[in-house]
Structure formats: C-alpha cells, structure tokens
Amino acid sequence: MAKPWQGNPLFLLLTSQVVLALLLLLSLRSAVESKCVLFNFGDSNSDTGGFAAGLGFYLGPPSGRQFFHKTTGRFSDGRLYVDFICEGLKMSYLSHYLESSGSNFSHGVNFAVVGAAVDLPGNPFPLSTQVLQFLHFKNRTRELMAEGSGSLVTEEFKDAVHSIDIGQNDLAKAFYLNFSYPQVLLKSPNMLNKIEDAIKSMYENGGRKFWIYNTGPLGCLPQTLALHRKNDSQLDAFGCLSAYNDAAKAYNYGLRDLCEKMRQELKNAVIVYVDMFSIKYDLIANHTQYGIEKPLMACCGHGGPPYNYKERMTCGQPTATACPEGSRYVSWDGVHYTETANGIIASKVLSAKYSQPQTDLRSLCEEQTTD
C-alpha cells in the first residue's frame, strides 16, 4: 500500500525546503560558534569597503559581478583573499570600521583602506591611523560592555589575530616618482620602523597574535608593466619587471628579520611571517596549473594585449571592458586580483606552508593567550 507522501510533489517540495533550511541553520550556527576574532590592517588588497564608506567613493560595475552580483567596494570581480580566509575560519566576512550601516563586528573589524601605505606623507589612512582606529574601537567596546550594552566582539581581545598586509603602495609610489632603485631601497628602514611601532602599540594594548604578510610581486602587475616597461631586458623569465620585484624582495627580507627580532623581544607574542610574494608569484610562474591563461593581462581594462591597461581608461570607466571569464586571469583591473586568484591565495595562506614559523591560522585563531 502506497504511503500518502509517496509521489506527492507538494510533500517533496516541502521536504527539500526543510532540508535547505536545516543546512542553512547549521552553517549559520558554525559561523556563530567560531571563536575566531580577526582585526585586519592594510590596503586595497584586503579593503572590503572602507574606501567607499569613508570617502563616499562609488565603485561601479563590473566590479562585484562574481558571487556578490553587486558592487561592494571591493576592488575585484568578487571576493578578496581576506573573504576566503574568513570562510576558512568559519566566521562572517569582516565589516569595515568606516561602514556605518549594517556592520557586524562580532568576529572582528577590517581597517584596511584603498591607497593606504606604511610611510607616505599625506596618506589619509596610513597604518598608524588604522592602529589608532583599532584602539578607539577597543576602548569604545569596553565602555559599552561596562554600561551593559554588550560587546561588539564576542571573544577576548587578547585572543584576537591582528593581520597586517601593507607596503605595496609605498614601493609603487617611489617607482612612480622615478626614484632610482637605490632610492627605493632606502624607503625600507622607515617602513619597517613603522611596522614595528604598529605591532608594539597593539602588543602594549594587549595584542598577542600577529599575522604579518610580506608584499607581493609588484613587477608582475599589468599596471606596472604597461606604464614602466621599456624593453625586454628589464623582464625576468616570466615577463615581470625584475627591479620592481627585487625591491619588494629586499623589503620582505627586512620584514622577515624584523618579525624574528620581535619574537625574541615581545614576551608571549606569536608573530607569524607569511610569504605572500611567493604565493602570488607562483600564480604567474605556474599559471597553467591553475587553469589561468592570461597571468599578466588585466581582465577588466582597455588596450588589449599584452596588458590591457591604460591610464584614465581603467576598469569602471566607460572606455573599459571586462573579459567574459575572470577565472582565466590573475589580475582583475591591472592592480588587484580576480576572485579566482584570491581563492587560490587564501587556500595557500591557510595551508600553513608559506608561514614562518609554520603555523595553522585556524589553530592560532582559537588558541587562548597566556600572559
């Protein structure tokens, strides 16, 4: 005898909806139960909407066409690597400190802003300002807790991870101003001093976990190549500008040494150095392994091969057009990365293979700090 629900399309529809609802609740529960708290400092590589919120800048289509299917203030066709990091940590995406509407700060805050630098005069949101914003947020949150208003952050501040990804704009600006290679290298000591000041400031205010990214291969960006390449003798084996990458590597060596020094100086601090340069350079050097066809060409821009980048005709301008499939490109707009590239970058960060000392970010995130 047939059961009343067998073959009943209405019952099957209701059952599928119940299953989907349960799956959604489980996914939300896992995100809510995550113990991770992440405070992120940086530039456009990890800005999830600060530039748009802080300066009212409208970043129109086709940015955001993947995943979000709308503009979000992210300089990409979709998610940034920091979004994928949050997914990997089973936490909600980081809301920006400057966003006044609809923000969720329960698992941390993003302070990164487009154009931010370590040590550039006149920069509106340098690393030092971002740290001051963090300290204000922390103090204000504690005031609200004391008033019984609850904490905007669900876990202890001291157990949070403080990630820093900044420095690309400092080096790029120096080259743009026609500094000689030795002059560009002379910027590194001041930059490293500012990084050290930022870490110590957060440490003195209770921070104990620091996740420090080095800077990426500046010489592989389509913008850099389109504006500064003069002849093939300047290029390395994979078509990137050698001098630009060498300057980035020189700065990165100094940053690695700084992290090692601070591990010895700051009691009970965990300071992890993450080799973002190697992660991103691998996308260029071994692009076919990732299904990428155009490693040095912008998906969205103007001018066509080899770089599809031209000043004042950049992505978002009426003269610019976007490629059909961003998944076949490393660069979205000549400076920033496609969602596909960002996903690969995040997976390598989370693999722990590119961190010194080798550290699993998920485990670090949930460890309780001892003083």
Q: Under 8 Å CB-to-CB from 62, ≥6 apart: which residues?
A: 77, 300, 315, 316, 322
Calpha distance 251→86 (Å, rounded): 27
| Catalytic, out of 77, 159, 275, 333 | 333
Cα–chain-centroid distance for residue 66? 17
The amino acid present at 267, given as its one-letter code, is: K
Nearest Cα to Cα of residue 209 among 251, 173, 164 = 164
- In angstroms, the CA 96 to CA 74 distance is 11
Give the integer Cα–Cα distance in Å for 201 and 195: 10
Known catalytic membership, residue 44 = yes
What is the distance between the alpha carbons of residues 154 and 147, in angstroms, rounded to a whole number? 16
Q: Are 194 and 128 in contact (CB under 8 A)?
A: yes
Catalytically annotated residue among 44, 63, 188, 331: 44
The residue annotated as part of the active site, out of 96, 107, 287, 336, is 336
DSSP state of 274: E
Give backbone dihedrals phi and psi of 208, rounded to 5 degrees, phi first. -130, -15
- Identify the CA nearest to 67 among candidates 87, 37, 43, 38: 87
Helix/strand number for the chain, H first, E second: 12, 10
107 among known catalytic residues: no
Please say whether the beta carbons of 334 and 301 come within 8 A.
yes
Describe the crossing of helices 188-204 and 127-146 by its angle, rounded to 10 degrees: 10
Evaluate whether 168 touches 216 at the Cβ level (below 8 Å).
Answer: yes
Other Cβ atoms less than 10 A from the Cβ of 103: the count is 17
Only one residue has tokens 């300290």, namely 135
**Three-class SS of residue 237?**
coil
Residues marked active site are found at 44, 333, 336
